Amino acid sequence: MSTIALAPSVQASIERPGKLVLVLRYLRRNKGLAVGLLILFGLVAFTVIGLLTVNTKNAYPLSVALKKPPSWKYPFGTDFFGRDLLAAMVVGMWQTAFIGVLAGGLGTFIGVVLGFTSAYFGGWIDGTIRTVCQVLAPIPVLLIQVVIAGSLDKRDVTIVTMALIVVLLAWMGPTLVIRAQVLTMKERQFVAVAKLSGVGDLGIIFKEILPCLLPFIAAAFVAQVFVAVFAAFYLAVLGLGPLREPLLGNIIWAAQSQGAIFNGWWWWPIIPSIAMILILGSLALINMGLDELANPRVRRTE
Amino acid sequence: MNVTLVHSAVQPHVPMSIAAAEPVLRVRNLEVTYYTDSGRAKALDNVSFSLKAGEKLGMVGESGSGKSTLALAMMRMIKPPGRIEGGQVLVGDTDLMALDQEGMRKARLSRIAYIPQGAMNSLNPVMRIGAQMIDAVRSHLPDEPKPAVEARCKRALQSVDLDAGVFRMYAHELSGGMKQRVCIAIGILLDPDVIIADEPTSALDVVTQRQVMETIDNVQKAINAAVILIGHDMGLMAQFVDRVAVMYAGRLVEMSSVREMFTDPKHPYSRALIRSLPSLDNKGVFQGIPGLAPSLLRLPTGCAFHPRCDSAMPECSTARPEAQILPGGRSVTCHLFDGEA
Amino acid sequence: MQARTIPTGKNHQECSVTLRFIIRRLVFLVLVIWAASTIVFFIPRLSNRNALRERFGELARTGGFSPADLEKIIASMQQQFGLDRPLLEQYWQYLHNVVRFDFGYSLYRYPSTVSDLIAQSLPWTIGLLLVSTILSFIIGNLLGGISAWPRAPRWMRSIATPFVLLTGVPPVIMAILLLFFIGFKLKWLPLGGAYSVGQVPNLSWGFALDLLRHQILPALSLILGSVGGWVLSMRGMGITIQGEDYVNFAEHKGLTAGRIFRDYYMRNALLPQVTGFALALGTVVTSAIIVEGLFGLPGIGTMLNLAIRANDFPTIYGIVLFITIAVAVLMTIVEFLYPLLDPRVRQS
């Protein structure tokens, strides 16, 4: 109940440290975000260094010896089709990142545009967008993606089409989130003041509301990347991905089809699994950390 | 220093009806500190007072002055990072601060009851009112037969002027005033010796405020409990309490009878408070108290009030004043009265 | 004073409010099913793939009948499936069939219908789903509730941590890891299948035990990954609820810690979780299906896997549509049950 009132003068008198120090200090408190960023940084470093040093041709079938367990020559081993799993991981990670950022970015973009339109203009536009989102929301997105991916000619399935398939049904989440945020933002005083002082709709959207929503948009983007990576992974595990590419899910699908674990080639499915855990884990941690940053109410966790 | 001890020495000055009884509540040197990231904040500093059965004390002060902290400390409900650092709260002969966890749990509601600040949300939305009253009784009197428990609850509802039908209702079906009454009814279920009402009327409209205060007044008379009423509204309080205590920055700065407080406040802060009340004489002129309430993290040296005080003396910024008992039994914590005790 | 009596004449009005709520939800349900059917109907028709031609082309290569025969067979099949009629008529017929749970014939297992295949495999999926979903919901919410409860001992609060760390792990990967460590390395549990090779399904304890042993790893992979999600959302909820005035007041009332935890804290914190449960159903079902396929349990997931491998489009579409409808129906049921838990919703 009655906690101590912090007089503003006390805070003002403390010296303002540099921005970097502040960020680092914040990260020390928000450990999830720090660890997530650290893992992500490691993955990016692995991929970049890998792309520069490893022969990416070895990520494709019939490039190296078959079914070799991890050794000095092949740190991650090789698979039944003669792919070097190290090279496959490097290329697969890059492709996963590509799908994630492309689909996540597109999904967030659509979500932001629709969310703003819906919340700012209201009326029948809002009604339509909201209803469509609500009707589509209960449909298990992945299964519809299965239908789409299944209906495509196998030759048409590439990394880019994968991303597009994922986006097709993954913009409802950010739309609803952004819509809700804009709605609360609209009620705030400063928007009303801007409106009264004659700032136009677009001016208000871009100058007043959008900057305040950046943390939410960032969180929505990370969440979208997570969803996209997850969906693309599932499609690939079901064998609906671009089969030739060493996408992480594809490798697991291939391993599963060849009964890798039954046959004792454990490294084949395990290594892409671990890579996937790291990717999704870091994204989940960053997402939670950003949530905490954007939504101070959650900050009360110890 | 210790108000209670000195207080008993001057008892002859207190009105006879009250003087006859032993104090039912004695608070001695209660101290609470909050350990925050930015430092230690002393939210209660050496607070002592006592109350007799049937006596009503009004507790006033700005937000952050420690009123609610005092209430929570007496219930032993201070949550980390806050800590009760010392002192005693004696209800009858029991020192609440010395009880174990289970003993304290049993003392709550049965010896010392708390009527919450936010009555709007103080009732569980998914349980019927009756169930919430029954579980309160049951956790103190596990052996009381069910019909007796129910009768007890309905009696309590009746004594706060609520229909017995409320028993089967949910919180969202009640108005704000009705919810506050339910909380009062819960507070008196077990005839406690002390009732603490923490701003019981803060969220209510003016008419309901009066009704709720009257309800508290009635039930208090019925069970002859000592009541501590916490609030900002000096006007409302003046009509219902016997004595008024003023808190500033975690200290009790003055404690007097209502009449004395309103006609002849002693502490400069009390004076300023009384002056700031709207009255028929100072129509239109609204006098506030200059300056801001100090941060508990950085209290001014000496008397915490001296930067805002219009009668500050040089020693006020260096020496901490101690509580003085003035003739008549009032207690004031101010250098102006050094040597008058 | 303003002593209030219980409103009695309100019954009629309340009844119509409830009715309106039910009708609105049902209309919404129909809308969802219609949207899903429409998507599933049109998307394949937008693509240039011809399922019949692919299937019979394959047969022609292996079975050795002439291209002319192939065309004839395809034409007759198209007529039989109604694919030669106008699109709108097909669409109407399709919706009509969906309502009757008629998803057409399986191409791969012709003349079995898709509904037959679903009916055969459904019990397996329901069993796995029911057990894993209920367990993870209960465990997750209990642990989440405890982990946000300040009066719980530290060790109790930290039980939830390992589950939270597993949150990002998709059930499929969990399945692979479990298969490898527990099934392959430790050899504690079987690597897949519904029952051991050589066992004949019968009603004996031995067979039941064997069946159960084959269900443990799939169920575990679903539970381990999803408990963390419930823990996280419940912890967030718990932090909000424990700051509520009624929890505080309950303590002021001198209630025992156990009672406050159960009746005041958990009961209120769980309410939004039930809604969350309805929303999560789609993901839960999807995960279950994929995990099932991975373990080769004879459920809907394996059916879907086989259908994808065999390009058996009617079966893929039928299964997808069936699951979508099932999820939407389950969600509606949860929403109908919700007012029983929350008296506030009951009235408004």
> A117-121: long-range contacts (C-beta < 8 A, 24 or more apart)?
A118/A175, A118/A179, A119/A178, A119/A179, A119/A180, A119/A181, A119/A182, A119/A183, A119/A186, A120/A182, A120/A186, A120/A201, A120/A205, A120/A209
B167: left (phi over 0), alpha (psi -120 to 50) or beta: alpha
For an interface test with C, which of A143, A145, A265 has the most C Cβ atoms less than 10 Å from its Cβ? Answer: A143
The partner residues of B198 in beta bridges, in order of sequence, read B230
CA distance A138 to C328: 6
| Chain B residues in contact with C344 (beta carbon < 8 A) | 125-126, 170, 172
Q: What percent of chain B has pLDDT over 90?
A: 9
Kindly state the average pLDDT of the residues C222-251: 86
Yes or no, beta carbons of C191 and A261 under 8 Å apart: yes
* B117 in A contact zone (CB under 8 Å): yes
Please report which confidence band the pLDDT of residue B113 belongs to, taking 50, 70 and 90 as the band edges.
very high
Distance from CA of B74 to the nearest CA of C (A): 11
**For position B133, what pLDDT does the model report?**
92
Nearest CB to B68; choose among A1, A6, A10 = A1
CA distance A21 to A27: 10
Question: What's the start-to-end Cα distance of chain A, in Å?
Answer: 18
Yes or no, beta carbons of A147 and C172 under 8 Å apart: no
Nearest CB to A4; choose among B67, B198, B297 = B297
CA distance C141 to C266: 9
pLDDT > 50? residue B5: no
Name the 3-class secondary structure at C184: helix
| Chain A residues in contact with C36 (beta carbon < 8 A) | 139, 144
**For position B19, what pLDDT does the model report?**
47
Q: Kindly identify which residue of chain B lies nearest to residue A4, measuring between CA atoms.
A: B64
Nearest CB to A6; choose among B66, B198, B295 = B295
**For position C326, what pLDDT does the model report?**
87
| Chain A residues in contact with B295 (beta carbon < 8 A) | 4-7, 9-10
* B185 in C contact zone (CB under 8 Å): no
Residue whose pair of structure tokens reads 């019949």 in the numeric block: C52
**For position B13, what pLDDT does the model report?**
44
Yes or no, beta carbons of C328 and A300 under 8 Å apart: no
For an interface test with A, which of B121, B232, B296 has the most A Cβ atoms less than 10 Å from its Cβ? Answer: B296
pLDDT > 50? residue C121: yes
Yes or no, beta carbons of A5 and B66 under 8 Å apart: no
C171 upstream amide cis, omega within 30 of 0: no
Nearest CB to A237; choose among C179, C235, C290 = C290
Q: How many CB atoms lie within 10 A of CB B191?
A: 15
Yes or no, beta carbons of B295 and A10 under 8 Å apart: yes
pLDDT > 50? residue B14: no
Q: Give the lowest-confidence range in B222-231, B241-250, B296-305.
A: B296-305
| Chain C residues in contact with B75 (beta carbon < 8 A) | 252
* B199 in A contact zone (CB under 8 Å): no
Distance from CA of B127 to the nearest CA of A (A): 24
| Chain A residues in contact with B198 (beta carbon < 8 A) | 1
Q: Is the Cα torsion angle A249, A255, A257, A262 positive or negative in sign?
A: negative
Yes or no, beta carbons of C1 and B124 under 8 Å apart: no
The partner residues of B95 in beta bridges, in order of sequence, read B90
**For position A109, what pLDDT does the model report?**
92
B86-95 per-position pLDDT tens digit: 888 988 888 8
Q: What percent of chain C has pLDDT over 70?
A: 83
* Contacting residues for C280 by C-beta, under 8 A, at least 6 apart: C229
* C329 in A contact zone (CB under 8 Å): no
Kindly state the average pLDDT of the residues C87-96: 83
Beta carbons of C201 and C193 less than 8 angstroms apart: no
**For position B281, what pLDDT does the model report?**
63
Q: Kindly identify which residue of chain C lies nearest to residue A272, measuring between CA atoms.
A: C173
pLDDT > 80? residue C347: no
Give a three-class secondary structure readout of C191-258. Answer: CCCCCCCCCCCCCCHHHHHHHHHHHHHHHHHHHHHHHHHHHHHHHHHHHHHHCCHHHHHHHHCCCCHH
Beta carbons of C273 and C141 less than 8 angstroms apart: yes
Distance from CA of A192 to the nearest CA of C (A): 30
Kindly state the average pLDDT of the residues B289-311: 80
Yes or no, beta carbons of A5 and B43 under 8 Å apart: no
Whole-number CA gyration radius for chain A: 23
Distance from CA of B11 to the nearest CA of A (A): 33
Structure tokens at A97: 């990142």
**For position B132, what pLDDT does the model report?**
92
* Contacting residues for C16 by C-beta, under 8 A, at least 6 apart: none
Yes or no, beta carbons of B125 and C344 under 8 Å apart: yes
**For position A296, what pLDDT does the model report?**
55
Cα angle A214, A215, A217; round to 5? 60
Residue B268 located in a structural domain = no
List the 76-115 stretch of A: residues with Cβ below 8 A of C.
Answer: none
Element (H, E) at C269: helix C267-295
CA distance A105 to A225: 7
* Contacting residues for A169 by C-beta, under 8 A, at least 6 apart: A136, A139, A141, A144, A145
Yes or no, beta carbons of A5 and B64 under 8 Å apart: yes
Instruction: Count B/C contacts: CB-CB distance under 8 Å.
Output: 103
Residue whose pair of structure tokens reads 């190296």 in the numeric block: A64
For an interface test with B, which of C249, C256, C263, C345 has the most B Cβ atoms less than 10 Å from its Cβ? Answer: C249
B229 closest CA partner among B218, B248, B216:
B216
Yes or no, beta carbons of A261 and C180 under 8 Å apart: yes
A152 closest CA partner among B174, C43, C324:
C43
pLDDT > 70? residue C268: yes
| Whether the model pTM is above 0.90 | no
| Chain A residues in contact with C316 (beta carbon < 8 A) | 146-147, 150
Q: Which amino acid is at C61?
A: R
pLDDT > 60? residue C202: yes
Alpha helix stretches (DSSP H) within chain A: 8-13, 19-29, 31-53, 85-121, 123-136, 141-151, 159-168, 172-187, 189-196, 201-203, 210-237, 248-257, 260-263, 267-294
C296 closest CA partner among C307, C286, C306:
C306
* A43 in C contact zone (CB under 8 Å): no
Q: How many CB atoms lie within 10 A of CB C138?
A: 12
CA A302 to chain centre: 26
| Chain A residues in contact with C184 (beta carbon < 8 A) | 261-262, 264, 266
Residue whose pair of structure tokens reads 């004879």 in the numeric block: C298
Beta carbons of C109 and C57 less than 8 angstroms apart: no
* Contacting residues for A42 by C-beta, under 8 A, at least 6 apart: A278
* A62 in B contact zone (CB under 8 Å): no
Yes or no, beta carbons of C2 and B172 under 8 Å apart: no
Residue B132 located in a structural domain = yes
Domain covering C116-347 in this structure, CATH number: 1.10.3720.10
**For position B3, what pLDDT does the model report?**
38
Residue B6 located in a structural domain = no
Distance from CA of B122 to the nearest CA of C (A): 4
CA distance A226 to A32: 16
**For position C69, what pLDDT does the model report?**
72
A235 closest CA partner among A301, A144, A122:
A144
CA distance A210 to A207: 6
**For position B11, what pLDDT does the model report?**
40
| Chain C residues in contact with B176 (beta carbon < 8 A) | none
Please report which confidence band the pLDDT of residue C3 belongs to, taking 50, 70 and 90 as the band edges.
very low
B103: left (phi over 0), alpha (psi -120 to 50) or beta: alpha
**pLDDT tens track, chain A, 302 positions:** 334 443 444 444 445 566 777 777 777 777 778 888 898 898 888 888 888 887 777 777 777 776 677 777 777 777 777 787 788 888 888 888 899 999 999 999 999 899 888 887 778 888 888 888 888 877 887 888 888 887 777 777 788 888 888 888 778 888 888 888 888 877 776 777 777 777 777 777 777 777 778 878 888 888 889 888 888 888 888 888 787 788 888 888 888 777 777 777 778 888 888 888 888 888 888 887 877 776 654 444 43
The domain that holds B138 is classified in CATH as 3.40.50.300
> C339-346: long-range contacts (C-beta < 8 A, 24 or more apart)?
C341/B126, C341/C270, C341/C271, C341/C274, C342/B125, C342/B126, C342/C271, C343/B125, C343/B126, C343/B170, C343/B172, C344/B125, C344/B126, C344/B170, C344/B172
List the 114-143 stretch of C: residues with Cβ below 8 A of A.
Answer: none
Q: How far is CA B49 from each of CA B1, B251, B327, rounded to the nearest angstrom? A: 11, 11, 17
Q: Which amino acid is at C282?
A: G
**DSSP label of A4:** -
Element (H, E) at C162: helix C160-165
Question: What's the start-to-end Cα distance of chain C, in Å?
Answer: 27
Question: Count of domains in chain B?
Answer: 1
Kindly state the average pLDDT of the residues C23-32: 88
pLDDT > 50? residue C2: no
| Residues of chain C in Cβ contact (below 8 Å) with chain B | 1-6, 150, 244-246, 248-256, 259, 263-264, 267-268, 271, 341-344, 347
Yes or no, beta carbons of A10 and B293 under 8 Å apart: no
| Chain C residues in contact with B123 (beta carbon < 8 A) | 246, 249
**For position B15, what pLDDT does the model report?**
45
Yes or no, beta carbons of A7 and B295 under 8 Å apart: yes
| Chain C residues in contact with A252 (beta carbon < 8 A) | 172-173, 176
**For position A5, what pLDDT does the model report?**
41
CA distance B286 to B279: 9
pLDDT > 50? residue B189: yes
The partner residues of B34 in beta bridges, in order of sequence, read B41, B82
Q: Kindly identify which residue of chain B lies nearest to residue C6, measuring between CA atoms.
A: B165
Beta carbons of C113 and C106 less than 8 angstroms apart: yes
The domain of B151 spans 25-263
CA B314 to chain centre: 33
Q: How many CB atoms lie within 10 A of CB C202?
A: 8
B212 closest CA partner among B187, B244, B243, B176:
B176
C150 upstream amide cis, omega within 30 of 0: no
Q: How far is CA B264 from each of CA A295, B177, B259, B272, B331, rounded to the nearest angstrom? A: 50, 34, 8, 12, 13
* A1 in B contact zone (CB under 8 Å): yes
